[in-house]
Structure 1
Amino acid sequence: MDRRKALKMAAGAALGGSVGFWGIQKLSEPDYLSEQEAKPLTPVANELDWKYHSLDPQVTAELAYQKYKDGGCMYSCFLSIIKQLADAYGEPYASFPLHSMRYGHGGISGYGSICGTLNGAAAAISLFVPEKENRDKMITGLFRWYEEQFLPVFIPKAPLVDADIVLSQANSVLCHASVTNWTKVSGIKVSDKVRIERCRRLTADVAEKTVDILNQFFEGDYMAADPHNATTRTCLTCHGSHGKLDNTSGDMNCTSCHSKSVAHSVFAKPHYKVMK
């Protein structure tokens, strides 16, 4: 056999193998979870004393920014909402033990888990929306926004640190991931005062968004989007409660912590197809 014929045969075998591989992959495609349409949420009568009153998102953001120095991200995000209600309406808002929200700094006492801004925001939503279904969808919507948006965008009236803050996409609701992604983009160290200013402004962004969500909800204008994004829909198809594996739960973005191995990319679909 001459060299040219051998090369043609090798190329043909490679092409055939490639076509066969992709054919198997295509035939093994699971029925992926479909995207859900956005639906309006209807407030349920709240028999508790903790009633929400519409607030100005921009005023809330500025207050969260200014109060950050007194207790960190969770504290100032939550306080920016409750303090306005206490000043305008008195009790029960004025008696809320705001100091209890200081634990959330740095992903809970510096542990790096859930971002304190989101922890405080979720607490505020929960205070005014006691029913589980609405509350969960609103918090999920806020968390997804936090994962996907390029933040911070808030510009304070009187910056405590005069710097151009680089925007970054957190791709996670975790403090350490959010901060690390920002340091990679900005090239600034975690201990730098500019990083602290970044988190201060991020707190303002989240406080503003939280009030915007609450305002829309109680005005009957809030639309709850699909709790999953494209990535989580793909992963939960097999790994979620409706899949054969049924070995994980949650809606947070998968790729913040997980990536597909070569073996997963090659064998996962055919293997899943033959699973019982």
Structure 2
Amino acid sequence: MKEQIGYPYTMLPDDMFQHGGAGYGGQGTLCGSLGACSAIINLVAMDQHFSHNAIVADLINWYASATFPTSRFDDICRFPEQIKVSPNSPLCHISASTWTVAAGTNVDSYERKDRCAKVAGEVAYQTVLRLNAYVDGSYAPSAPGPSEATAYCLNCHGPAAFNNQQGKMSCMLCHSDHTK
């Protein structure tokens, strides 16, 4: 974007999002690739319709339901054909730990680092797809919304009732399923 468009992208330092690694300062919160790509989406798609928010929400929903790592980068990575697991969450610690348990490795392993590099590449790729569609006027959300169980929770905890919960992540990662 620096070369094609110029300003304001020429003003962004190359290391601007380094703090996002390992879920922002190593805290395991939001996947750093989602945070960095969300900022870029904001720069490109902020308009009077709040398109940037819809695109960011779609990207996060896609991430939580995707199966990682994809094989898109296998020809340039150190560990091709890794086990693929859906994180069911946009949180770094859940995404990485779910995968490490399934892969039988640990978070400090080169295998996990390779997996996360491929995830970051895939998030950037998916961001470009969404932004290209936005620019050409064909963007429509493509990821699934909240799960049936989360929608059930939002009936009580969402804005129409207690209004004490604003997220749309899977509630079942931390809470028991009240639908049963």
Assess if the C-alpha contact under 8 Å between 2:71 and 2:81 holds in 1. no
Distance 1:87 1:142 in 2: 25
Equivalent residue, structure 2, for 1:201: 118
User: What's the counterpart of residue 235 of structure 1?
Assistant: 153
Q: Which has the larger radius of gyration?
A: 1
Contact 2:149 2:179 in 1 (8 A): no
Distance 2:172 2:24 in 1: 22
- Aligned pair 1:114/2:30, yes or no? yes
* Residue in 1 that maps onto 2:51: 134
Q: Which SS does the other structure have where 1:224 is aligned?
A: coil
Deviation at 1:252, TM superposition (A): 1.8
Q: State the structure with bigger RCO (CA 8 A, min sep 6), 1 or 2.
A: 1
Change in Cα spacing, 1:157 to 1:86, as seen in structure 2 (3 Å) is farther
Question: Could you state the TM-score of these two structures normalised by the residue count of structure 1?
Answer: 0.60
Return the structure number with greater helix share. 1
Query: Following TM superposition, by how much is the alpha carbon of 1:160 offset from its aligned partner in structure 2, in angstroms?
Result: 4.1
Q: Which residue, out of 136, 156, 165, partners 2:82?
A: 165
- The 5 A counterparts of 1:172-191 are 172-191=89-108
Amino acid at match of 1:194: E
Aligned 8 A contact 1:154 1:205 in 2: no
What is the distance in 2 between the residues matched to 1:213 and 1:164? 26
Consecutive unaligned residues of structure 2, counting only runs of 5 or more, are none
Partner residue of 1:6? none
Deviation per CA, 1:83-119: give whole Å up to 9, x if none: xx11233333222123221111100010110000100
Contact 1:140 1:227 in 2 (8 A): no
Residue type matched to 2:69 in 1? P
- Matched to 2:28, the amino acid is G
Identity score, percent: 30
Change (3 A) 1:265 1:94: closer
TM-score (norm 2): 0.89
Is the CA contact (8 Å cut-off) linking 2:152 and 2:179 kept in structure 1? no
Root mean square deviation, CA, Å = 2.0
Q: Deviations for 1:118-161, whole angstroms, at most 9, x for unmatched residues?
A: 00110110011223631111111110110111111143375341
Give me the whole-angstrom Cα distance separating, in 2, the residues matched to 1:251 and 1:130. Answer: 22
- CA deviation after TM superposition for structure 1 residue 231, in Å: 2.5
